[in-house]
Every structure is written in structure tokens, then in C-alpha cells.
Structure 1
Amino acid sequence: MGNVRPWLTTRCWRNGSGNCWSRPRRSPRRRWKKMFGGLVFTVQGNTVVGVVGDELLVRVAPDDTEQALAQPGARPFEVRGRISKGWVTVAGEVLDDHVLNDWLQLGRKATAALPPK
């Protein structure tokens, strides 16, 4: 699929009416910022997903981790050789519209359980 970063930022973040944002709008509730050497998207201060190179970084709830890691292209997120619990990295080549939407829903579900920052 190539570099997923521009595709993610222009296609996946939709408002309640289903209209696609040409660029994610910053608001007190939804923001995007540079982190982990890429771009992350937050809701109420909590990171939902991020794009690092050609890969998607997804927050996952502890109960969903095992099932998430069983999906094609998924592996634990590692920082300096240490696995970060609650995060999964997904290879960009497995992401199409349907698969990306599933990962976004999983990230939103995990973030919804967290208090705002």
C-alpha cells in the first residue's frame, strides 16, 4: 500500500455525519501531534492511533490484546527493545479501508475507557 501516513490523515477521521476531513481538525476533544517519530491522533488527550513510517500504531484494551495480535500484520509495539503493553503495531501493507476501520474502532474503544487528560 505504500506510505500510509497521508492516506490515514485524509481518509479515516470522519465527523458524526460521515463527512471526511481533508485534514484532521484540532479541537479540545480531537488533536493530532508528532510523537514516536510519526503522527498520532488523540481524543481527550489520549492517543487512539498513530502512524510511524508505513505502520499503524493502535491503542488496545488489555482484554483485546490477544485477539488484536492474532490479526494479519499485527505485532507488539516495541520501544528500545521493550514491549509496550496496550499497543499494537500493524504493517501498512495489510491496511485497506475495511481493515483500517476495524483498527480505528479498536483504538477508539480502548481510548473511550480512559479518563480525559
Structure 2
Amino acid sequence: SGQGGLLLRCDPVETDALLRKPYAGPFQMRGRVMDGWLRVDPEGLRTKRQLERWVARGVAYARSLPPKR
């Protein structure tokens, strides 16, 4: 994101559970919390393993979506 860290799209059903993880926070756009989107602070991405876990979650969700026409 422009503030550092990672902007992640995830399954909206999992948002609340993921927000309980360290360094994860709600993503807001114009003051509105966007369900299904998270912001992961840079401190939660310091190792390759940490980054890979978040990216894998986002990629898995993106692949589960129907193709765009």
C-alpha cells in the first residue's frame, strides 16, 4: 500500500478471523471499512515466510472467483 505493508483481498467471510492475526488491520477507503480487504503492516511482512503466507491467502481467494468477462 502507499503506507507500506500489503493490501490483501480475502474471502469476506474470513475477514473477522484474519483481523485477529497480528499486524492485520481493516482496509479503509474514504473512511469506509472495506469488507474482504485487509491491510497488513510492514512489521508482519519482515520474513519471506510471513509474506508468502499472506500472498498465498490472497492468491487462493482470487483463484476461487469466477473469471471476468
TM-score category (smaller protein):
0.7 to 0.9
Counterpart in the other structure of 2:2: 52
For normalisation by structure 2, the TM-score amounts to 0.84
Aligned residues: 67
Higher relative contact order (CA 8 A, sep 6+): 2
| CA displacement at 1:76 relative to structure 2 | 0.7
Paired amino acid for 1:76: P
Counterpart in the other structure of 2:67: 116
Distance 2:18 2:49 in 1: 15
Identity of aligned residues (%): 37
More strand by share: 1
Q: Over aligned residues, Cα RMSD in angstroms?
A: 1.3
| CA displacement at 1:108 relative to structure 2 | 1.0
For structure 2, the 5+ residue unaligned runs are none
Asked if 1:77 corresponds to 2:27, the answer is: yes
| CA displacement at 1:87 relative to structure 2 | 0.2
Whether the aligned pair in 1 keeps the contact of 2:12 and 2:37 (CA below 8 Å) is no
1:29-68 correspondence to structure 2 within 5 Å = 51-68=1-18
Identify the range of structure 1 (52-61 vs 71-80) with the bigger mean alpha-carbon deviation.
52-61
Distance 1:62 1:79 in 2: 16
Structure 1 runs of 4+ with >2 Å offset: none
